[in-house]
């Protein structure tokens, strides 16, 4: 099922961007909350067999680590998480005078808010969370010079190379410089589908085997990862039990051959078991 997730997240991003362009969504936190809600709902409806924890973080977490949201996957005792700081730098130039950054800190130590967030994100790696910046694109769908449908992801390590000096603020042009031109060979940004393909299926970050790494007190995740159970999906009155290894189907077929019903918490003979995709791996 993890192979499905990049496309699912990308489709949810496209619908959320459509709402941004229509003015239904006006800021980064609402955008993240709407996008993550779609991801959670669609993952459940798709019968996702991997534990998924996708949510906007609390104010304390945002202050400590400089991100707006986290998406955590847990499969076979392995955990991998993506941390996201969302920005709306007006990539399309619809409001050219819009301020996209501000100064924070004591008067003698004032610095760019976004720069301070990038610095705070370093600690996330210790918790098994890979830090990224998500740039909301406010151009109407299909009119963007970057991605036609959704927004853009950039790695923290890349963005650190564009930090302004002293008390200078990030501007729309600085974000565009970080993205790079559309014809550049070494593209620095990734759309949502590309981001999750690389994150889930490639070696972008190694999964952690200790669930406490992300369940730490400062990470504010109170739901135990060990409580993960496959989603049960109801379709037209039938119950689809995710069965990655085919064990339930084997039990049902063996019971049917013996002329008896398999009792596994319910009568499987009265509810057809539908084959699931290959077993998830991180």
Determine the pLDDT at residue 75. 80
- What 3-state class would DSSP assign to 190? strand
Instruction: For residues 91 and 114, give the distance between their C-alpha atoms in angstroms, rounded to a whole number.
Output: 16
- What 3-state class would DSSP assign to 69? strand
Determine the pLDDT at residue 115. 95
Q: pLDDT averaged over consecutive 10-residue blocks of the chain (282 residues)?
A: 87 93 90 93 82 85 90 82 93 84 84 93 85 91 83 93 92 90 66 90 73 49 42 40 48 52 36 46 66
Instruction: For residues 40 and 54, give the distance between their C-alpha atoms in angstroms, rounded to a whole number.
Output: 7
Determine the pLDDT at residue 9. 93
Closest by CA to 146, choosing from 276, 17, 57, is 17
Q: pTM of the prediction?
A: 0.75
Within 8 A by CB and 6+ apart from 276, the residues are: 1, 47, 49, 242, 243, 244
Q: Taking the alpha carbons of 184, 175, 159, 13 in that order, is the dihedral positive or negative? A: negative
| Residues 119/105, Cβ–Cβ less than 8 Å | no
Determine the pLDDT at residue 87. 95
Q: Where are the alpha helices (DSSP H) in the chain?
A: 5-22, 28-45, 59-65, 113-120, 156-159, 172-179, 192-201, 212-215, 247-257
Closest by CA to 175, choosing from 144, 133, 147, 142, is 133
Domain ranges of the chain: 2-227, 233-270
Query: Which residue is it, tokens 């067999």?
Result: 49
């Amino acid at each position: 099922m993890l192979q499905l997730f990049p496309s699912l997240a990308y489709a949810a991003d496209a619908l959320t961007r459509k709402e941004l362009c229509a003015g239904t969504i006006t800021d980064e936190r609402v955008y993240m909350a709407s996008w993550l809600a779609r991801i959670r709902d669609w993952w459940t409806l798709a019968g996702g067999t991997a534990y998924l924890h996708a949510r906007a973080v609390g104010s304390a977490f945002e202050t400590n680590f400089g991100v707006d949201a986290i998406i955590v996957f847990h499969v076979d005792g392995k955990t991998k998480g993506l941390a996201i700081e969302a920005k709306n730098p007006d990539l399309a130039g619809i409001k050219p005078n819009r301020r996209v950054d501000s100064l924070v800190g004591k008067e003698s130590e004032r610095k760019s808010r976004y720069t301070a967030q990038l610095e705070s994100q370093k600690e996330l790696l210790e918790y098994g969370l890979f830090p990224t910046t998500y740039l909301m694109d406010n151009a109407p769908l299909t009119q963007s010079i970057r991605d036609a449908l959704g927004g853009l992801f950039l790695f923290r390590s890349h963005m650190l190379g564009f930090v302004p000096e002293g008390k200078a603020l990030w501007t729309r042009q600085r974000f565009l410089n970080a993205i790079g031109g559309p014809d550049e060979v070494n593209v620095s940004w990734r759309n949502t589908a590309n981001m999750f393909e690389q994150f889930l299926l490639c070696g972008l970050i190694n999964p952690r085997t200790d669930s406490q790494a992300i369940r730490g007190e400062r990470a504010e995740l109170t739901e135990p990862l060990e409580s993960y159970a496959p989603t049960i999906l109801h379709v037209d009155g039938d119950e689809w039990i995710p069965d990655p290894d085919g064990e339930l189907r084997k039990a049902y077929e063996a019971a049917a051959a013996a002329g008896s019903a398999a009792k596994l918490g319910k009568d499987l003979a009265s509810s057809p078991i539908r084959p699931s995709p290959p077993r998830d791996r991180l």
